Amino acid sequence: MSLGQIQDILTAPGQRFEIETVDIRGVPTRTWKQAPASLALLTAFSRSHGSREFLIYEDERITYDAHFRAVAQLAHKLIEMGVGKGDRVAFAMRNLPEWTLIFFATTAIGAIAVPLNAWWTGGEMTYGVNDSGAKLLILDGERHERLKDCYADMPGLERILVTRAKAPLAAPAEPFEPLVGPTAGWATLDEVGLPPIAMTIQPDDEVAIFYTSGTTGAPKGALGTHRNMLSNIFSTGYGAARMLLRRGEVPPAVPEPKVNLIVIPFFHVTACSAFLMGNMVAGGTIVLMRKWDATEALKLIERERINATGGVPTIAWQLIEHPDRANYDLSSLESIAYGGAPSAPELVRRIHAEFGALPGNGWGMTETMATVTSHQGEDYLNRPDSCGPPVPVAELKVMDPEGKRELPVGETGELWAKGPMVVKGYWNKPEATAETFIDGWVRTGDLARLDEEGFCYIVDRAKDIIIRGGENIYSIEVENVLYAHPAVTDAALVGVPHKTLGEEPAAVVHLCPGCAASEAELQAWVAKHLAAFKVPVAVKFVDHVLPRNANGKILKKELRAMFGAGAG
């Protein structure tokens, strides 16, 4: 069936994916009619999964019922601390069970969750706390050690709580554990239910501030609503149903719970919004890792019978290239999906060929609270360089650089997106908001094209184009060719200064274990596939995967420094 036929079937009146148009901040917007109104209602519903395991972290195993009891308990305690609707609660920690506890308790009382990037320095976290105006800060022991000398620089904070402290705490820090106790006791906490305010929250109330990756300048806080985040439940489900219908199968009446290994941080919208929301509905089990380690991941896939994993393309590459992969039973794997960064077409094919798992991808950004396009299964195998078509409630258009004229199908320009997932704007940054959010549309800063069927192809970040003597070089095009070389598992193209041409392309690559390739060999490989002006003038090799931010995007500024200001 065509995409249009499938959409007509799945979104028909009375169906699970029915669509209605509502007014959001003065803009008529298509929305999922059946989406829950608030995260509080989602949290209450999650309890229906009862004794099914929700979170597994090392030797800690937490059921949905136990998690709900702890969320309800903490929600009441937050109110006792004076946290009310619209107040900001900032928190920074690893992917711990406490992360989801704090997130859902905060949002259940109408407060605004501020998940800080746990990889940030003390100064960067101080910026996030002060910029958001948080009155409460909750940290794990590692973040506390990093931040304890910065507390005096956060005058707006009323309390600082620390979970899993590494050493005895001193004022102003207090232990978090007395509020709900250790995870082992969550199942026996008193039955208190969510506070009454939980039932008054509306879809377009503010729910969270997620900070952009901040590869240039200070990070901006994307202010999202309950509707933004909850749209992901149906966007994700629609993508799965569409995949089944495309291959002639009937989607199940009720989503099947899966066991998922999550290896990307919850403070990124891919993990929190796109991944976590759907699992709360389906009753999925989430296996957490203290930090990413490919060998440990293989052990967990075998031991926990993991059905799905992914996050960013690097993770899939490391599993594929692992020298001991054959020693593990990975037969439970059904899908490896990722977002946050473009992937090489070669990776899509190898996931299917070597794991028998179906690849999945999608496109979104912090400003869309995750999913705008969805790309799964055979459609992805057939179009491995696309991020898929938009979900039915989303709209995409490609605009000229000035943002005045929509470009025809097939032409490359700046991608604009619209839908119920687009955030309200940037926290306390009216000028940046006005520049980026226009009549319900968000200017993404991504260069893209759309084909006749609506499939989207991200060409590059607008700021990552390399312009060599007036010729545009899209880095992803060259990177995909490098990825296709059998020795390459990670690659990035950057522009290096040139006296007369302006800049030239240079590459940084990481080779698979035991593989070899020279600079000249890779240059010849690119020259065989692309025009001469796109061939890297230099190739540098690193013995580790390339540096990325928490969203999975390669930090090209760091790579440019490898070539020096006088390169070329």
Model confidence pLDDT, tens digit, residues 260-278: 999 888 998 989 999 999 9
Query: In CATH, what number does 40-200 get?
Result: 3.40.50.980
The predicted-structure confidence for 541-561, as pLDDT tens digits, reads as follows 999 888 887 667 788 888 988
Contacts of 416 (CB under 8 A, 6+ apart): 396, 397, 398, 399, 403, 438, 441, 442, 443, 444
Residue 217 — pLDDT band, cuts 50, 70, 90?
A: low
**Pairing, β 221-225 against β 206-211:** antiparallel
pLDDT of residue 216: 47
- For residue 3, report the phi and psi dihedrals to the nearest 5 degrees: -60, -40
Report domain 3-22+223-461's class. Answer: alpha beta
**Domain residue spans in the chain?**
3-22+223-461, 40-200, 475-563
Q: What is the percent of the chain where pLDDT is above 90?
A: 72
What per-residue confidence (pLDDT) applies to 215? 45
Q: Report the predicted TM-score, pTM, of the whole model to 2 decimal places.
A: 0.86
- Is the pLDDT at 321 greater than 60? The verdict is yes
Angle between helices 39-46 and 226-246 (to 10 degrees): 60
Q: What is the pLDDT of residue 395?
A: 97
Q: Do domains 3-22+223-461 and 40-200 have the same CATH topology?
A: yes
**CATH level 3 topology of 475-563:** GMP Synthetase; Chain A, domain 3 (3.30.300)
Of the candidates 341, 380, 325, the residue with the CA atom closest to the CA atom of residue 513: 325
pLDDT of residue 141: 97
Residue 565 has pLDDT above 80, yes or no: no
Helices (H), 81-181: 97-108, 122-132, 141-147, 177-180
Range with lowest mean pLDDT among 132-146, 211-225, 234-248, 392-406: 211-225
Q: What is the mean pLDDT of residues 475-482?
A: 88
The residue with greater pLDDT, 401 or 92, is 92
**197 close to 355: Cβ distance less than 8 angstroms:** no
Report CA dihedral (307, 309, 315, 316) to the nearest 10 degrees: 50
338: left (phi over 0), alpha (psi -120 to 50) or beta: beta
pLDDT in tens, 283-317: 999 999 988 899 999 999 999 999 999 877 778 88
